[in-house]
Structure 1
Amino acid sequence: MFISQLVADTPAEWENRAEQLIREGDKQGALNALAKAAESTPASTESEDRIGFLLAVLQRQSDAIAHFQKALSIDSNYAAAHYHLGVALWQANDRERAMPELESAAKLAPNVFDYHYRLGSAYLQRTDYEHAVTELTQAVALDASKAAAWQDLGHAEQAKGDLAGAVDAYSHAATLDPTNDTARNNYAYMLIETRQADRGIEESRKVLEQDPANLTAMMNIGYAFLKKGDFDSAEQAYRKGLATDPNSAATHYDLGIALKMKDQLDAAQAEFKEAIRLDSSLAQAHYSLGITQWQLGDFPAAKEHMRAALSILPDYAEAHYMLGILLKQSGELDAAIPELREAIRLNPNTPGPYNTLGEILHLKGDQQGSKEAFATGTRLKQEEQVQLANTLEQGMRGGIVMKPITGASR
């Protein structure tokens, strides 16, 4: 006898029948069984939660949410219902209502891995990195065997600025799931970022052994060679990447950086232009093209691309600074001042904009303002010289930054 021919009496029996029908692929039969389960008495927190869960499996999100809410109306301390409601609301893009439910689940059942992992991942997606690290750290403490949790923890640590923590987390993710190219690429990238370029190259080559066409691994190798100052090898790595995907805007951009570091400005300019042709939204490409055109003496074009970069990324401090320099050089002092002040507001610890602002204020007769700007710039420069251990990513004049785009997830 087929399960759909059986007679059920209690909510639990109807729920079991619905679950079996789901496994058999009988969606309508499962929905009918769940309707019977909902009509049966007595209702309980556990029953309402399970009905909601099965409805969610059947992608009946609004009905599922109603049952989770009914479960919580019976027992507001039922952690599973809070969790399931939070997940359902999140999947329905109602994230503001989802977060308190996920938080309640983790608080009510602090020893459940899934609750902390889901909450940590939600914080990560909301760019709340502090709370993401807290919850994901708790998750991996409860179950250290889940590569995805370590991967998310690495992402949160990286975004928070804890590079050593990110290396450790990505290392766990890569070890637990050696076939996961994303985990291995992220691990390689963080090794490079923490001055372990040779190890980063080694990890990237392991990825290429598994997937010879993995563009991210090729880009990471190029980035590692840039960090090592081996610009010829960086160029080779990026050209290999372009042989795999000639339409990768990011790879054209990174190749432009390598060529620029070799003082091949015309060739670098061509790569930046190709990157922009392929993806006009790359603010970094507009910025770097503007820098290169400035060096080549084409100031009007340089200003145009700095403004293009800022139209894409208004908080691009380096572009505001560079535009201020260009305006100063073309005698547009009044226009340069707000650009420099905005660069300072966005990045108050970079000395270059203070010094350029000091020069302009001096020319305009504001001696006190000039003195204060120069004093701050001098102090920051002294601090920078003490702290700066790696200057590869610092550009031609104080604070002008040019950095490759790697394919690693961040």
Structure 2
Amino acid sequence: MDKNQTGIKLMEEGNWEEAAKMFTEAIEETPTDAIPYINFGNLLSAVGNKEKALDFYDKAIELDEGAAAAYYCKGNVFYELENFTEAQQMFEKAYRCGLETGDNFFMLGMSLVHLNELRLALPYLQRSSELNEDDAEVSFQYGLCLAQENYIDEAIKQLQRAVSIDPNHADALYNLGVAYGFKEEANMALEMFNRALEVQPDHLLAGHGKKLIEDSGL
């Protein structure tokens, strides 16, 4: 196992100091290799030093302009800092460098969602859902985006998929209730609100939705 792999294993174990030592040694031994800089950046990001992490990702890109992982990791930092424009640009660069993973498509789509570019976000979230078939959050966010663009039937399919993966996804259940309400299927809407409240009794929006239906007498 090389020092990069050892460092990653130490990170997974929460042994930050020893991981940092491994990555430092890897950098010293192969100073023109982008990978240990990316790994050290990931370590710094994990412990909350986001700005310093960006310096390491930039160094990796300086060494290898095609380092897709560096752009992806940099995009994650910008996303966490709520700089969604920069995040979008980094995820796009990662994609252009060949990173066609479900996670990169998802983060690109979510960056566009935060920038209120929902229609542009849809194809990326769709591709992410195709690649991450068992990820409830991906299906949920894709369904939510579809609903916001008034593709209600398609949204219901994705929200149902999210619930089938994670039956305790209260927000997916709530939004299913909203979608059924939009289609004037009151019984289904009420069932979804009730299920959301079973999972999360303090879900205020589900409680409000349930009360609206019950008060309407439908």
**Equivalent of residue 41 in structure 2, options 8, 32, 52:** 52
CA distance in 2, matches of 1:85, 1:211: 35
Task: List aligned pairs for 1:369-408, cutoff 5 A.
Answer: none
Q: Which has the higher contact order (CA 8 A, sep 6+)?
A: 2
Gapped regions of structure 2 (runs ≥ 5): none
Provide the residue aligned with 1:158 in structure 2: 147
Asked whether 1:135 is paired with 2:124, we answer yes
Change (3 A) 1:28 1:212: closer
2:137 matched residue in structure 1: 148
Identify if the C-alpha distance between structure 1 residues 149 and 116 changes in structure 2 by more than 3 Å, giving closer, same or farther: same
Distance 1:225 1:97 in 2: 45
For residues 196 and 45 of structure 1, what CA distance do their matches in structure 2 show?
A: 55
| Structure-to-structure mapping, 1:59-78, within 5 angstroms | 59-78=48-67
| Equivalent pair of 2:84/2:114 in contact (CA under 8 Å) | no
**Paired amino acid for 2:39:** R
- The 5 A counterparts of 1:254-269 are none
Q: Which amino acid aligns with 2:162?
A: A
Provide Cα deviations, 1:35-69, integer angstroms capped at 9, x if missing partner. 33333324213332223223322322223212212
CA contact (8 A) 1:37 1:51 kept: no
1:37 to 26, 44, 52: 26
Q: Which of structures 1 and 2 has the bigger CA Rg?
A: 1
The structure-2 alpha-carbon separation of the partners of 1:63 and 1:190, relative to structure 1 and needing over 3 Å to count, comes to: same
Q: Which amino acid aligns with 1:133?
A: L
Following superposition, the deviation at residue 24 of structure 1 comes to: 4.7
Counterpart residue identity of residue 177, structure 1:
D
d(CA) in 1 for partners of 2:17, 2:151: 50
2:81 aligned residue: 92
Q: How far is 1:29 from its partner?
A: 3.8
The answer to whether the 8 A contact 1:174-1:187 is kept is no
Q: Alignment RMSD, CA only?
A: 2.5
Distance 1:46 1:24, change over 3 A: closer
Which residue in the other structure is 1:218 paired with?
Answer: 207
Structure 1 Cα separation of the partners of residues 190 and 198 of structure 2: 12
1:169 paired to 2:170:
no
Q: Using the alignment, how far apart are the partners of 2:83 and 2:208 within structure 1? A: 37
Whole-Å separation in 2 of the counterparts to 1:114 and 1:140: 10
Q: Deviations over 1:139-175 (max 9, x none)?
A: 1112221110111112211222222222222121122
Matched AA of 1:35 = T
One-letter amino acid of the structure 2 residue matched with residue 39 of structure 1:
E
Q: Deviations over 1:184-210 (max 9, x none)?
A: 111111111122211111222233444
SS at structure 2 position matched to 1:195: coil
Letter in 1 for 2:38: D
Mapped to 1, the partners of 2:203 and 2:82 lie a distance apart of 33
The AA in structure 2 aligned to 1:50 is N
Cα distance, 1:214 vs structure 2: 4.0
The Cα of 1:180 is off from its aligned counterpart by 1.2
